[in-house]
Amino acid sequence: MKFREYLPLFEGDLWSEGRRRLGDKLELYDSMQRQINNRYKDVVTYREFIKKFCALNVSSGMHELLLSMDPCTKWDAEEISREIEGTSATDLGCCDGTLTIFYALNHPEIEFTGVDMCHEAVDIATEKSRARGAKNTRFVCADVMSCEGEYFSADTLIAQGSVYQFLPHLTDYNRNFMETIRHGLRTGCKVILSQSIPNKSDQFRPEKVDGYKLLRYDTKTVHSLPLETDLSSEIAVFRTI
Ligand SMILES: C[S@@+](CC[C@H](N)C(=O)[O-])C[C@H]1O[C@@H](n2cnc3c(N)ncnc32)[C@H](O)[C@@H]1O
């Protein structure tokens, strides 16, 4: 399934649609959006902030709206879907499950687990999955950095646009994340990371990660008409060794 058959491109006016979805929460949303990059004081405070922001995003439908208008999401999702293999896959930081469900519908033979620390997101993901007819998903509320769940031993592990939130206190968060979770992964596991790249210092430095072999690294810049700007995205695919 192509991404746009699953989630049609939103071509309306983002601001009026945002106002319609958020209603009297619009101001709160705007102020949280502005705070997100300088909110970090300590990990606990940051995670509580992210949980609240995520709850607002999913309950208003803003998360899915933003996915439906970001051209990079289409590229990431289709590339990631092509890479998924094995019999089990885990999506870390799955939010409202929109993308997890897309992967699950494309791979009915694979069991998908979406993990997110925001329980509103997990509840909505479960509902969406049922409504969209995906029978091979389950959604779990957990902090992925505890590295405790058995879902870490899946054949494919996906983290799309979420690693920067897992380790907000670290600059080299991708490498740190991969090193931290390596002990919970089985050898031969495929790890797919993707993210948009606001600045070069956030880029993947895959050659430096112990315990992994890089299979693929690609980046793409797409012009977003609704946002009137170029957006860049990158995908890195590894195998644990
Ligand atoms: C930017 S969103 C990306 C969502 C989704 N992967 C996508 O591309 O649509 C990041 C998600 O990661 C979740 N998250 C952040 N830190 C987490 C943690 N430590 N454990 C579990 N989930 C976390 C947030 O709640 C949020 O839903």
Q: Please, how many CA atoms are within 13 Å of residue 65, restricted to the half-sphere of its CB?
A: 21
Give Cα 230 to chain centroid, integer Å.
20
pLDDT at 230: 85
Same domain, 31 and 122: no
The pTM for the full model equals: 0.95
pLDDT at 114 over 70: yes
Residue-wise pLDDT for 13-56, tens only, equals 888 999 999 999 999 999 998 888 766 778 888 999 999 999 99
Same domain, 140 and 190: yes
Same domain, 211 and 170: yes
Can you name the residues that pair with 217 across neighbouring β-strands?
A: 236
pLDDT at 39: 64
> 160: Cβ below 6 Å to ligand 1?
yes
What spacing in Å lies between the alpha carbon of 154 and ligand 1's midpoint? 18
Parent domain of 187: 69-240
Inside any domain, residue 219? yes
Best of 39, 79, 117, 157 for a ligand 1 pocket test (most atoms within 8 Å of beta carbon) = 117
Q: 140 or 227, which is more confident?
A: 140
Inside any domain, residue 105? yes
Tell which of 25, 41, 65 closes a domain.
65
- In Å, the largest CA–CA distance within the chain is 51
What spacing in Å lies between the alpha carbon of 50 and ligand 1's midpoint? 8
Q: Exposed/middle/buried for 197, CB within 10 Å: 0-12, 13-18, 19+? A: middle
Inside any domain, residue 3? no
Mean pLDDT of 138-149: 91
Same domain, 28 and 140: no
Same domain, 98 and 207: yes
Residue 143 main-chain phi, psi, to 5 deg: -85, 115
Best of 100, 116, 181, 196 for a ligand 1 pocket test (most atoms within 8 Å of beta carbon) = 116
Whether the Cβ atoms of residue 95 and residue 63 lie closer than 8 Å to each other: yes
Same domain, 45 and 78: no
pLDDT at 201: 65
Residue-wise pLDDT for 181-214, tens only, equals 999 999 999 999 999 876 666 777 767 789 999 9
> 166: Cβ below 6 Å to ligand 1?
yes
pLDDT at 42: 86
Extract the runs of DSSP E, i.e. beta strands, from the chain. 88-92, 111-116, 137-141, 156-160, 190-196, 212-224, 229-240
Inside any domain, residue 8? no
For position 90, which CATH number holds? 3.40.50.150
Banded pLDDT at 133 (limits 50, 70, 90)? very high
Inside any domain, residue 140? yes
Nearest CA to ligand 1 atom 17: 166
What spacing in Å lies between the alpha carbon of 213 and ligand 1's midpoint? 25
Atom of ligand 1 nearest to the CA of 162: 10
pLDDT at 192: 97
pLDDT at 199: 63
> 162: Cβ below 6 Å to ligand 1?
yes
Same domain, 114 and 54: no
Atom of ligand 1 nearest to the CA of 98: 9
Q: Exposed/middle/buried for 167, CB within 10 Å: 0-12, 13-18, 19+? A: middle
pLDDT at 172 over 90: no
pLDDT at 222 over 90: no
What spacing in Å lies between the alpha carbon of 92 and ligand 1's midpoint? 7
Strand 212-224's sheet: what is its strand order? 137-141, 111-116, 88-92, 156-160, 190-196, 229-240, 212-224
Inside any domain, residue 234? yes
Q: Which of 123-132, 178-187, 224-233 shows the lowest per-residue confidence on average (mean pLDDT)? A: 224-233
pLDDT at 41: 77
Structure tokens at 220: 């793409």
In angstroms, the CA 118 to CA 160 distance is 16
Best of 95, 128, 148, 197 for a ligand 1 pocket test (most atoms within 8 Å of beta carbon) = 95
pLDDT at 11: 87
pLDDT at 119: 98
What spacing in Å lies between the alpha carbon of 54 and ligand 1's midpoint? 8
Nearest CA to ligand 1 atom 27: 95
The structural domain count of the chain equals 2
Residue-wise pLDDT for 153-167, tens only, equals 999 999 999 998 999
Give Cα 199 to chain centroid, integer Å.
18
Residue-wise pLDDT for 69-105, tens only, equals 888 899 999 999 999 999 999 999 999 999 999 999 9
Same domain, 227 and 123: yes
What single string gives the DSSP state of each residue in 200-219?
Answer: GGGS--GGG-TTEEEEEEEE
Same domain, 36 and 123: no
